[in-house]
Structure 1
Amino acid sequence: MSAADQTISDGKLVALTYSITDTNGAVLEQADLPVTYIHGGHTELIGGMDAAIRGKQAGDIIELQLTPEHGFGAHDPNLTFTDDLDNVPPEFRFIGAEVQMQNEAGEVRTFIVTAIADGKLTVDGNHPLAGKSLVVHIRIQEVREPTYAELTAESSGCQLPSTSLH
């Protein structure tokens, strides 16, 4: 296989591992098992990561600094709600509980219980990494032509795990 065959470009299958840290180096999210996607396909990576890894090859390591605007966005205070604990079903009365809420337009969003204090419960619909400056450490594991099955899965909307890199 030539070096060009192993260079990230549109249509190539890319397998990578990554970690996301805060600016102090604390690990916030990590993928030790390679995640794969078709470069230039349906999967959108955060913060200009597509551009940062284009032209790279297996074995390359990339570090990407992301502001909140280029990562998971600014923290939106309009997505945080507090209610009396008595108004919340018992199955949601713990930190980390996921609550599905629907707005008037019928859009559904997952909110996470972030606080319980003084008879009140707070849920937050922001991504847990919203509002944070981040450092993404990427290691390219493999670059190759995708198989027919991998191309078919990509076109049917197969995505990276929902918490990763979107």
Structure 2
Amino acid sequence: MSDTIQNNKFVELNYRVVDKRTSIVLSTIEFPLGYVHGANDVLSEQVQSELQGKMVGDTIDLPIDCDKLYGPRDESLVFVDQIENVPEDYREVGITITMENAKGEPRDFIVTRVDDKTVTVDGNNPLCGRDVVFTLEVLTVRDATDEEIDIGGAVGADPDIHEILK
């Protein structure tokens, strides 16, 4: 059927990430993610397999082992510093700070706690150690243009869910 997900179809998805233990929604997207099914590796083979044959309006729930995806939580990547040592711009929970190691390799740290005396930053992926479910909702399925097939997604877009679903 032409309105089902199959190779060389342009697909748009909404997704949300839910913590299985607490049922709290950890992440959602504001704009649909678009990709060409089978034309790139934006989504893992497992995810593409689950989406194969789905239609507009279908949803799938994918349990994700975040430790397998991101590695186990590493407490050596959590740092606490005195608040006076941290610039004011970085004293807000949720702010991302990019730091470099001695080799000049960048790593993102997220401010996870601020109190009157200290600031805590964490270099672990926020999903490490969590048991989550990705819920994907199919919004659009259509024939992809030749240009979309060549680039694997919408012209002018940069689909970036590979960091989450690969």
| TM > 0.5 fold call | yes
Deviations along 1:104-144, one digit per CA (max 9) or x if unpaired, are 23221221111234633211122222211111222212222
Corresponding residue number in structure 1 for 2:18? 21
Corresponding residue number in structure 1 for 2:158? 158
Corresponding residue number in structure 2 for 1:10? 7
Q: Structure 2 regions of 5+ residues with no counterpart?
A: none
For the residues of structure 1 that align with 2:158 and 2:32, how far apart are their CA atoms?
15
Q: Is the 8 A contact 1:71 1:133 kept in 2?
A: no
Q: CA RMSD in A?
A: 2.9
Aligned residues: 163
**Cα drift, residue 81 of structure 1:** 1.6
Q: Structure 1 regions of 5+ residues with no counterpart?
A: none
Q: What letter corresponds to residue 21 of structure 1 in structure 2?
A: V
Corresponding residue number in structure 2 for 1:59? 57
Please give the residue correspondences for 1:1-166 in structure 2 after superposition, counting only pairs within 5 Å: 3=1, 5-23=2-20, 24-31=22-29, 33-45=31-43, 48-117=46-115, 119-151=117-149, 153-154=151-152, 158-160=158-160, 165=165
* Cα gap change, 1:10 to 1:49, in 2 (>3 Å): same
**Cα drift, residue 46 of structure 1:** 6.2
Deviations along 1:142-161, one digit per CA (max 9) or x if unpaired, are 22221244345548982236
**Cα drift, residue 72 of structure 1:** 4.4
